[in-house]
Amino acid sequence: MSRLSINPSILQRTLIAGTIAAVLDAAFSFVAYVVIDGRYNFESLLQYIASGLFGHNAFAHHGLTGWLIAALGFVLHFGISLSVAATFYIVLRRFADTPARAVAVGLLYGAAVWMFNTSVVLPLFDVRHEPFFGGWYIPFLLDHVLFVGLPIAIVLAKGTWEQTTSAGGRRVPSPATGR
């Protein structure tokens, strides 16, 4: 059983991975829902995220209060992305021990994150969301595969595949991971 070790480097990589995923996912959401669909504006898109806590009342506020709720949505989005990155590090990083495996695990993880979000989290909080396999479901599934799971896996698994091989073909622990 391997021990989970947390050090400043791991925390920094988790912050980087979560931030990359948050920015890419937010950019995709902005283009999809604001630019293409016209369903939201910038403020209401962020309020949508906060509606998980406030319900439909998140949209009822305008002016300063509306922007404060939008700011909370922004913070929640980053917090969720950091949690998704930390979960990957804790649970799946050890399976991404080569670049090819990191890509495969990251793609599957991104899909799993989106499916869990739309089938468990959003209904649990009674947040309006895309119907299963309808509307924007498939584009957002691809968004999470490519812009959430993949960058998280690449950033966080990089240290696990920096291993050298001894003359006998056995793996030698790398200084970065100790495995």
Does residue 22 sit within a domain?
yes
Does residue 106 sit within a domain?
yes
Query: By residue range, what is the domain housing residue 72?
Result: 8-172
The pLDDT tens digits for 46-88 are: 999 999 888 888 888 888 999 999 999 999 999 999 999 999 9
What's the token pair of residue 160?
A: 């696990």
Q: pTM surpassing 0.85?
A: no
Domain total in the chain: 1
Question: Which three-class secondary structure state does DSSP give residue 7?
Answer: coil
Phi, psi of 171 (to 5 degrees): -75, 140
What's the token pair of residue 135?
A: 């509307």
Does residue 18 sit within a domain?
yes
What's the token pair of residue 151?
A: 């960058």
> How many Cα neighbours within 13 Å face the side chain of 122?
15
Q: Please indicate whether residue 17 or residue 179 has the higher confidence score (pLDDT).
A: 17
The pLDDT tens digits for 122-160 are: 888 888 777 777 788 899 999 999 999 999 999 999 877
* pLDDT reported for residue 147: 98
Q: Name the helix (H) or strand (E) containing 171.
A: strand 171-172
Burial class (CB in 10 A: 0-12, 13-18, 19+), 15: middle
Question: Which three-class secondary structure state does DSSP give residue 164?
Answer: strand
Quick one: DSSP state of residue 126? Answer: T
Mean pLDDT of 94-105: 92
Q: Name the helix (H) or strand (E) containing 172.
A: strand 171-172
d(CA 136, CA 123) in angstroms, rounded, equals 16
Does residue 1 sit within a domain?
no
Nearest Cα neighbor of 110 from 156, 157, 146 is 146
CA angle 172, 89, 77 (to 5 degrees): 155
Does residue 99 sit within a domain?
yes
CB 109 within 8 A of CB 144: no
Does residue 156 sit within a domain?
yes
